[in-house]
Structure 1
Amino acid sequence: MIPEQRRRAYLDAMQVATWLPRTELPFAAASRLELLEPQQEEAFEPVPEPVAVTPAAVREAPVERPKIEIPRPGAQPRQAAVEPVAEPEPVEEKPARVSAPPPRFSLQLLRAGDCALLVELPTGQPFQSRDPAYILLKDLLRAAGLPDSPQLLGEPVRWPLLVRGNMDQGPQAALEFVQSFVAARLEEQPSTCLWLVGLPAIRFAGEGDEHSYNCELQVEGLGACWALPGLELLMEEPARKRELWQAMRRVRQRWLTPAHS
């Protein structure tokens, strides 16, 4: 007999993990009791046997045969109905709102006698005593029978108001601002007639255009207005002065009192 240690070495070499001797071996370790208990057989579920298909069952089951369509002479082949593909509805593109660029002008509000004057500043700066445009304005006032030294009413109105920013400074905003500015000054000092000298004054106070030159306008909130060409335009085109003098004869009756007649 071989000792227990060598016996286990042999069994490990033969890859035998569990073994049980028939008889008691000398110098062997005591056997474990759980190895001597009889092993319980595992329960297996029965597998159902396949059902045999009889020839009668095969005959009873209906068999669908593919239908073969035989074309007849002179008949046109049938085409499969094709459902029309629905076209996508056109999406109406809304035009992008483009804001008008802000206009650029400088206006000065003056007062001469019973008249107020909203005058375009040709250089954008306040009038100086030796400016040719200011000298021409003094001539117009004398011809109209008004004082030739007009008084300033507030600071010049320069548009656009802001160089930067997201505030709307388009033509409509300019019109509302100029009209509100002039109306506030006229409420403090009412006038018989408001002169609108220059296209920016006519457009953003009287809501007129170049066709309004030498015409009388009635503006809500501002009263009676008289539209004149700009001072710079009168200097560049002296022929316009004749029409201006003729219109002044009709309009000057608004502000001339019996004492000046």
Structure 2
Amino acid sequence: MLIESRRRAYLSAMQVVHWLPRAELPFAAPSRPELLLPVAPLHEPDFEVRPAAPSAMPSAAPAAPQARSERPKIEIPRPGSAPKVAAKPVEAEPEVAPSRPAPVPPPRFSLQLLRAGSCLLLVELATGQPFQSRDPSYLLLKDLLRAAGLPDAPQIIGEPVRWPLLVRGNMDQGPDAARDFVQGFIAARVEEAPCSCLWLIGLPAVRFAGEADAEAYYQTLKVDLLGDAWALPGLELLMDEPQRKAHVWKAMRQLMARWKSVE
């Protein structure tokens, strides 16, 4: 059984304001007497039904016609006519700041300068290390010198030119700086002892001393401050592709007179 306080809490939660029990509830508070009185019947409202007033007779004079309301005009699209579209305002494109060119990484190569008779030889060191007497590439170089009629024991001039010069630092070490450095190094040796022909052996030697590319192989070049130069493939490439030696021999026969006439 529910006590009175809990019963009222349940009724409040169900939003019941007035309620009457069907039987006497134990432990319940006495009911209010006014709630036990019979409910009075609803009184119907008194009203009188009256006849409707007669409508007024129309007068002899006709009434003035009312002004007709104008209907909205509807445009019907005709065939071949394009619908009108409201022009949208053109938005100005945002200005794009010019991007800075990406820095060119410094080239990497090692070159050795040698002298054989009246010729200077700028040779690519494929391994980056100086020539050894039993290296296959050095033996091939000696064969080329003998075929050209030059001393087969070339004199090594200075240390190898290795690029980049510095591993760290803010100095420009791009392709242009490498070209200027290599050409300046050779020009200083040419001033010390002039040469009849400069051999450029290997793509880095052709590119940074002769300002040319692989298409200039077997050809002669005119280089400012350096004079005449002869572009050749690298020694490693000649060993990997022996068929190139025929092109070297053909070009060599046309150039031999330059250094043989000096002797």
Question: Helix, strand or coil for the counterpart of 1:196?
Answer: strand
Q: CA offset at residue 213 of structure 1?
A: 0.8
Q: Which residue of 2 aligns with 1:103?
A: 107
TM-score, normalising length: structure 2: 0.65
Contact 2:196 2:262 in 1 (8 A): no
Q: Which residue of 1 aligns with 2:252?
A: 248
Number of equivalent positions = 186
Task: Determine whether 1:237 maps to 2:241.
Answer: yes
Q: Which residue of 1 aligns with 2:60?
A: none
Task: Determine whether 1:169 maps to 2:157.
Answer: no
Give identity over the alignment, percent.
64
Q: Which of 144, 155, 158 does residue 159 from structure 2 map onto?
A: 155
Q: Which of 96, 116, 119 does residue 115 from structure 1 map onto?
A: 119
Q: How does 1:64-143 map to 2 (within 5 A)?
A: 73-74=71-72, 87-143=91-147
RMSD of aligned alpha carbons: 2.3
Distance 2:143 2:90 in 1: 77
Contact 2:118 2:262 in 1 (8 A): no
Distance 1:109 1:128 in 2: 14
Q: Which of 205, 209, 228 does residue 205 from structure 1 map onto?
A: 209
Structure 1 segments unaligned to the other structure (5+ residues): 1-70, 77-81
Q: Which residue of 2 aligns with 1:25?
A: none
Distance 1:160 1:171 in 2: 10
Aligned partner letter, 2:246? R
Task: Determine whether 1:193 maps to 2:215.
Answer: no
Q: CA offset at residue 211 of structure 1?
A: 0.8
Distance 1:248 1:195 in 2: 11
Distance 1:117 1:249 in 2: 17
Task: Determine whether 1:215 maps to 2:225.
Answer: no
Structure 2 segments unaligned to the other structure (5+ residues): 1-68, 75-85
**Structure 2 CA distance for partners of 1:175 and 1:258, relative to 1, 3 Å:** closer
Q: CA offset at residue 247 of structure 1?
A: 0.7
Distance 1:72 1:231 in 2: 99
Q: CA offset at residue 175 of structure 1?
A: 1.1
